[in-house]
């Protein structure tokens, strides 16, 4: 970083200042950091769900046999276990997402900022309604 | 209750040490003492060479920030009683070069502040004879939270992105830019935009949110950054949809 | 941080895609994953059989919904994975490669999903 301020040249690389390099495992050092990294890693499971969905669509397009094969694939214990883990991560994603978006938006009504829970609350409610709706659509006889 | 408490303090002397090390001190334990009182006691009674910054001892000058048990804190607002009887570890703020003992170098931080043009920018100053720029309470409220910053740098010590990428503008500097952008008297948002909309500024932030958690003044720098991301993104959409709009 | 015009003017777009994808993922994915990946294989609920799956896919609106459900969350994931690799492993010099792989993957997934859903009959 070049600076326009008149700093004596020696300050930037002051030999006697002690500089510590950030550890590669910085995210293990504090629980808050680990929680953050887990939140980011939830996106890997989001991507896994998308892959699963694409494969499902592909299976349907190939006909009943391929689709039955796909259903068996889902019953494989490893796949099942992976999906259970993924489920927890995507739920974690949803919860953190709604909480964070309330903080990322500064909505003002009548000059006062709307408190966060009034933004995340409706989001959580909408999440439940949407989930119920999808379940109903998929599972009705 | 024990009448003394142990402090483990990070010491570093640039003349003699290759790296910081811890030194233990026993100080009297008093209910109304904060960590800074203990440091002052040590400096007065036990080791006059202990070096640290402080001034107001009432949470307003922002100079006494240190790591207390690994957590960025204003030591003048952190009571011994909250940790006793366990010992307390005091270290200089993370992510900054250490000058001596508990003193860190803040040159980088100050430079980043300056880049944000943290002053009222007017297209044209009106002459003094025409009076002040007036502001309603609502207009004040729009930026007041971001103006509470005391430059204590706790948020920089909490931010892993700043630790990993020293070029990152960092929480307080961006919050400060927002403080002026949202000020009804200011007309400089366009001047600050090129500085803010860099990978080293808002787009480097991954919303870890630690800056907001440690901020002693509830400035919410993380919120400021995300809000500005939204502004910049909408600005981008506008420039794509209406390229002739002129910026 | 120097005040020059941003070279990477694509950042805002990537962030918008990331945000939109994060929202879509947050609202829609948990229930889908639960039914598809857990409840149905365990027999807790009925699995969508082939006939109803094709019936669903016959609706253009369902195909469009599935397209959005695949595409946007992929961009969301690409963005987060990129930053996590970048910060977590401290491999700043590989920034371009990582970005190309992550967003490239998202584009590829979008194209595949789009092709499958478009050509479905
Ligand atoms: S934003 Fe808060 S934590 Fe950061 S320097 Fe200002 S007062 Fe300190
Ligand atoms: S001494 Fe001034 S803020 Fe602590």
What is the rounded CA–CA span in Å between residue B181 and residue B175?
Answer: 10
> In terms of pLDDT, which residue wins out, C110 or C48?
C110
Question: pLDDT tens digits for C88-114?
Answer: 777 767 778 888 999 999 999 999 999
> Which of B76, B152, B161 to probe ligand 1 with, by most ligand atoms within 8 A of CB?
B152
Give the confidence band of A8 by pLDDT, cuts at 50, 70, 90: very low
What is the rounded CA–CA span in Å between residue B209 and residue B196?
Answer: 18
Distance between start and end Cα atoms, chain B: 66
Same domain, B89 and B172: no
Looking at residue A7, its pLDDT comes to 47
Residue B168, domain CATH: 1.10.1060.10
Lowest-pLDDT range of B90-94, B160-164, C66-70, C84-88: C84-88
Same domain, B217 and B166: yes
Same domain, B99 and B112: no
Contacts of residues A81-85 at CB distance under 8 Å and 24 or more positions apart, as own/partner, are A82/A48, A83/A52, A83/C33, A83/C36, A83/C37, A83/C38, A83/C41, A84/C37, A84/C38, A85/A45
C-beta atoms surrounding C104 within 10 Å: 11
| Half-sphere exposure (Cβ direction) of B238: Cα atoms closer than 13 Å | 9
Looking at residue A106, its pLDDT comes to 74
Ligand 2 proximity of B56 Cβ (cutoff 6 Å)? yes
Q: Which ligand is nearest to the CA of B106?
A: 1
Same domain, B9 and B123: no
ipTM associated with this complex: 0.89
Give the confidence band of B245 by pLDDT, cuts at 50, 70, 90: low
Cβ-Cβ contacts under 8 Å, C117 against chain A: 57
Same domain, B95 and B126: no
* C-alpha of residue B12 to centroid of ligand 2, in Å: 22
Q: Is a pLDDT exceeding 60 seen at residue C1?
A: no
A94-122: burial string, b at 16+ Cβ within 10 Å, e else = bbbbbbbbbbbbbeeeeeeeeebeebbee
What is the rounded CA–CA span in Å between residue A12 and residue A23?
Answer: 22
Comparing C-alpha atoms, which of A1, A96, A7 is closest to residue A43?
A: A96
Give the confidence band of C20 by pLDDT, cuts at 50, 70, 90: very high
Lowest-pLDDT range of A3-7, B51-55, B56-60: A3-7
Question: pLDDT tens digits for B85-123?
Answer: 899 999 999 999 999 999 999 989 999 999 999 999 998
Residue B60 lies in a domain: yes
> Which of B60, B66, B151, B216 to probe ligand 2 with, by most ligand atoms within 8 A of CB?
B60
Looking at residue A35, its pLDDT comes to 94
- Summary mean pLDDT of chain B: 92
Looking at residue A28, its pLDDT comes to 87
Same domain, B148 and B177: yes
Q: Give percent of chain B above pLDDT 70.
A: 98
Instruction: Put the strands of the sheet holding B65-68 in their side by side order.
Output: B21-28, B4-11, B88-91, B65-68, B71-74
Residue B87, domain CATH: 3.10.20.30
Same domain, B91 and B112: no
CA distances from B60 to B55, B77, B85, B179, B204 (A): 9, 10, 28, 18, 29
3-state helix, strand, coil in chain B (%, to 5): 40, 15, 45
Looking at residue B146, its pLDDT comes to 94
Q: Is a pLDDT exceeding 90 seen at residue B156?
A: yes
> In terms of pLDDT, which residue wins out, B181 or A102?
B181
Comparing C-alpha atoms, which of B55, B34, B67 is closest to residue B154?
A: B67
| Mean pLDDT of all residues in A46-62 | 95
Cβ-Cβ contacts under 8 Å, A34 against chain C: none
Residue position matching structure tokens 């508990």: B102
| Backbone φ/ψ region at B70: left (φ over 0), alpha (ψ -120 to 50), beta | left
> What DSSP assignment string belongs to C57-97?
HHSHHHHHHHHHHHHHHHHHHHHHHHHHHHHHTT-GGGHHH
The residue whose C-alpha atom lies closest to atom 1 belonging to ligand 1 is: B172
Same domain, B231 and B111: yes
Same domain, B170 and B64: no
Cβ-Cβ contacts under 8 Å, B161 against chain C: 87
Looking at residue B247, its pLDDT comes to 47
Domain boundary among B57, B81, B104: B104
Same domain, B8 and B85: yes
Comparing C-alpha atoms, which of C84, C74, C62, C73 is closest to residue C27?
A: C73
Residue B161 lies in a domain: yes
Same domain, B113 and B212: yes
Which range marks the domain in which residue B21 is found?
4-104
A70 and C CB contact within 8 Å: no
Cis peptide leading into C15, omega within 30 of 0?
no
Residue B98 lies in a domain: yes
Same domain, B116 and B217: yes
Looking at residue C2, its pLDDT comes to 44
Domain boundary among B79, B104, B129: B104
pTM: 0.89
- Give me the number of domains chain B comprises: 2
Crossing angle of the two packed helices B189-196 and B171-181, in degrees rounded to 10: 160
Domains of chain A, CATH where assigned:
28-104+114-125 (1.20.1300.10)
Looking at residue A115, its pLDDT comes to 80
Distance between start and end Cα atoms, chain C: 52
Residue B94 lies in a domain: yes
Torsion angle, alpha carbons of B117, B119, B123, B129, to 10: -160
Domain boundary among B70, B104, B138: B104
Q: Are B93 and B103 in contact (CB under 8 A)?
A: no
Looking at residue A9, its pLDDT comes to 43
Give the confidence band of B125 by pLDDT, cuts at 50, 70, 90: confident
Residue B246 lies in a domain: no
Q: Is a pLDDT exceeding 90 seen at residue B30?
A: yes
Q: Which residue of C has its CA nearest to A79?
A: C37
């Amino acid at each position: 970083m070049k600076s326009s301020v008149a700093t004596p040249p020696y300050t930037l690389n002051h030999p006697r200042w002690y500089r510590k390099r950030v550890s590669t495992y910085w995210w293990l050092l504090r629980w808050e950091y680990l929680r953050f990294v887990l939140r980011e890693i939830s996106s890997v499971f989001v991507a896994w769900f998308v892959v699963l969905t694409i494969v499902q669509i592909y299976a349907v397009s190939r006909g009943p046999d391929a689709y039955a094969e796909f259903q068996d694939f889902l019953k494989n214990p490893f796949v099942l276990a992976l999906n259970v883990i993924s489920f927890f991560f995507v739920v974690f994603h949803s919860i953190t997402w709604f909480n964070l978006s309330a903080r990322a938006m500064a909505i003002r009504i009548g000059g006062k900022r709307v408190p966060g829970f009034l933004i995340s609350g409706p989001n959580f409610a909408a999440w439940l309604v949407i989930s119920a709706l999808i379940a109903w659509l998929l599972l009705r006889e | 209750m024990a009448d003394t408490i142990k402090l483990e303090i990070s010491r570093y002397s640039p003349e003699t040490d290759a790296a910081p090390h811890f030194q233990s001190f026993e100080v009297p334990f008093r209910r109304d003492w904060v960590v800074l009182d203990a440091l002052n006691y040590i400096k007065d009674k036990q080791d006059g060479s202990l070096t640290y910054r402080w001034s107001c001892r009432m949470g307003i000058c922002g100079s006494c920030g240190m790591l207390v048990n690994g957590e960025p804190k204003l030591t003048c607002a952190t009571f011994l009683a909250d940790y006793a009887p366990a010992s307390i570890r005091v270290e200089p703020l993370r992510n900054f070069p250490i000058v001596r003992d508990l003193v860190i170098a803040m040159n980088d931080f100050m430079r980043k502040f300056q880049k944000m043009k943290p002053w009222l920018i007017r297209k044209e100053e009106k002459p003094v004879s025409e009076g002040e720029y007036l502001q309603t309470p609502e207009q004040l409220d729009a930026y007041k939270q971001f103006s509470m910053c005391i430059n204590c740098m706790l948020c920089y010590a909490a931010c892993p992105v700043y630790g990993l990428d020293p070029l990152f503008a960092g929480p307080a500097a961006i919050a400060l830019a927002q403080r002026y952008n949202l000020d009804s008297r200011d007309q400089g948002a366009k001047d600050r935009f090129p500085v803010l909309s860099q990978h080293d500024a808002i787009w480097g932030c991954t919303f870890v949110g630690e800056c907001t958690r440690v901020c002693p003044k509830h400035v919410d720098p993380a919120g400021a950054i995300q809000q500005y991301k939204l502004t910049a993104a909408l600005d981008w959409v506008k420039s794509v949809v209406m390229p002739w709009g002129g910026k | 941080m120097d005040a020059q015009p941003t070279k990477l003017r694509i950042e805002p777009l990537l962030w918008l895609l990331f945000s939109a994808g994060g929202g879509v993922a947050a609202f829609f994915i948990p229930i889908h994953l639960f039914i598809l990946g857990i409840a149905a294989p365990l027999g807790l609920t009925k699995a969508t059989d082939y006939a109803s799956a094709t019936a669903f896919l016959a609706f253009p609106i369902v195909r469009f919904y599935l397209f959005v459900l695949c595409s946007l969350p992929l961009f969301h994931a690409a963005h987060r994975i990129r930053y996590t690799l970048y910060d977590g492993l401290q491999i700043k010099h590989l920034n371009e490669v990582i970005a190309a792989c992550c967003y490239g993957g998202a584009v590829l997934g979008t194209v595949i999903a789009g092709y499958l859903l478009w050509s479905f009959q």
